[in-house]
Amino acid sequence: MAVYRRSTRTRNVIAVLVLAALTLVTIDARSQGVGVLSDARSKISDAFAPLQRATHAALRPIGNFLTGALDYGSLKKENEDLRRQLAQAQASQAQALAQQQESDQILRNAGLTVPSGVPGVAARIIDVGPSNFDNTVTIDRGTSSGVAAGQPVEAAGVLVGTVRSAQPHVATVELVTDPSFDIGVALAGGNTGSASGTGRALPLRIRVISTNLKPPQQKVGDVIVTSGLDTERYPRGIPVGRVTKILDVPGAIEPEIELAPLVDPLQLSALEVLLWSPP
């Protein structure tokens, strides 16, 4: 009899906990980011931020050591590649500067504004998305530093994501590789497209927007930048990624383009949030 009571109690406990969890999921999914549970999540996330920052500072060297040991071969090759890319970048920098000045002059002559000089806030990464299904990082700057949801986030001048949510002292950045990330990009021949993430360590995919224009003649290796059109969330001209593959879609005029992000934010410790909002 005692065994029966214990078994019934256990079943009841499990049933209550499962129902409680299902109720929480339903409430949170229906509230769509606004409500008691979202508030609780924000407050707990904010309250844990100093602890996370301290733990991260203390444990980061261990993590770096272990990561370095696990990835020694690839890191050595990556280092060589980066040295070569740096040399190429330095050579093309002077050329790019001259072209930029010329481009700005043309825009000014045409009476168009150049969205340059957007102020930014430097932030440190304190948490690199704990879940393997959540392509986000947490940074140590929040609404108290002017950070707000929707702002673009860069690393070394390259777009790495957007602010998904911001609390007073921390913010969550959704990375470009997240399947829910979507951004307008400029393509060759005056075309535009929509670049979407497909998952961590996977390329972005560009869907070309159909127009009367000739399909874009992109080449592998081209750098794709944000379009900055009127309805877009980001300023024009921020590099997003490099073309790695051009796929012909059966039955479609426009190709599908795959794009590799230019930087891996998981290897970085600092980002910059652009304090920019669409006009």
Partner 1 sequence: MVAAVSPVFRARLRIGLLIVFTALVETTLGSDLRVAQVAPDLMVLLVICAGLTGGTESGAWVGFWTGLLYDMFLTGTPVGLSALTYCMVGSAIGALRTTFLQERRALLPIAAFVGTLAAVLLFVAAGTILGQSQLLGGGRSWIIRVMIVESLWNAVLALPAGYIYARVARGSAGAERVGAPIPTRTA
Contact with partner 1 (CB under 8 A): which of 8, 14, 100, 252? 14
Q: Is 245 in the site for partner 1 (CB under 8 A)?
A: no
From candidates 8, 18, 210, 223, binder to partner 1 by CB under 8 A: 18
Q: Give the start-end residues of each E strand in 144-266.
A: 152-155, 158-166, 171-175, 182-186, 192-196, 204-208, 223-226, 239-247, 256-261
Q: Beta-carbon neighbour count of residue 226 at 10 Å?
A: 21
Q: Is 175 exposed, middle or buried (0-12, 13-18, 19+ CB in 10 A)?
A: buried
- Contacting partner 1 (CB under 8 A), which of 59, 96, 249, 252? 59
Phi first, then psi, for residue 216 (nearest 5°) are -65, 135
Q: Judged by CB under 8 A, which of 118, 158, 188, 202 binds partner 1?
A: 202
Question: Applying CB under 8 A, does 256 fall inside the site for partner 1?
Answer: no
Contacts of 28 (CB under 8 A, 6+ apart): 35, 37, 38
Residues 206-225 contacting partner 1, CB under 8 A: none
Residue 269 as a binder of partner 1 (CB under 8 A): the answer is no
Cβ-based nearer residue to partner 1, 70 or 270? 70
User: Does residue 84 belong to the site contacting partner 1 (CB under 8 A)?
Assistant: no
DSSP 124: E
Which residues of the chain form contacts with partner 1 (CB under 8 A)? 9-10, 13-14, 17-18, 20-29, 37, 40-41, 44-45, 48, 51-52, 55-56, 59-60, 62-64, 66-67, 70, 126-136, 138, 164-165, 172, 174, 178-180, 197-202, 266
